[in-house]
Amino acid sequence: MMAKQLQNMQPWSRRSVADHANDEGMPAAIQLRMAATKRKSKPQVAHRLHFIPEWAEKRNLKQAEIVEETGADKGTVSRWFSGNMPQDKYLDALVSCLAVEDVEALFRHPDDDWIARFLGDRSDEEKERIRAILLAAFPKKVA
């Protein structure tokens, strides 16, 4: 039966293989089916909690130099630059390598670090005065 149906398909037919693909009269063995395609979901944007790449850039350090100084392998350091969290055993070495004050500094952007140091030991009253002065000096622009 299958051979007979194949013979009936004329080679000069203008119908393409895709046109014949889902012919209802064809046996299941002959019917061509397109594989089910999976829809690609939107890529998940990892929320990075640390600023190791920014600190490395500020200190002009390459990943290879961080590998040497921390004792981590290059794949591990590469994953840090991609957003993975470093293991606890590497934190002290990273602090030393990146020349930051403490582990918490790894979780602040280098540009924000001076503000944290400046405001660190100030009282709440002083912080509020500083805030008021900054708002007076740099008012928000109204569009």
Q: Is 0.85 surpassed by the pTM of this model?
A: no
- Give domain limits for the chain: 52-132
What distance in Å separates the CA atoms of residue 83 and residue 8, rounded to the nearest whole number? 61
Angle between helices 63-70 and 74-82 (to 10 degrees): 120
Q: How far apart are the first and last CA of the chain?
A: 77
The fold of the 52-132 domain, in CATH, is: 434 Repressor (Amino-terminal Domain) (1.10.260)
User: pLDDT of the chain along its 143 residues, tens only?
Assistant: 555 555 555 554 455 555 555 555 555 555 555 556 666 665 554 567 899 999 999 999 999 999 999 999 999 999 999 989 999 999 999 999 999 988 988 988 888 867 777 888 899 999 999 989 999 999 888 76
């990273």: which residue's tokens? Answer: 94
SS3 (DSSP) at 6: helix
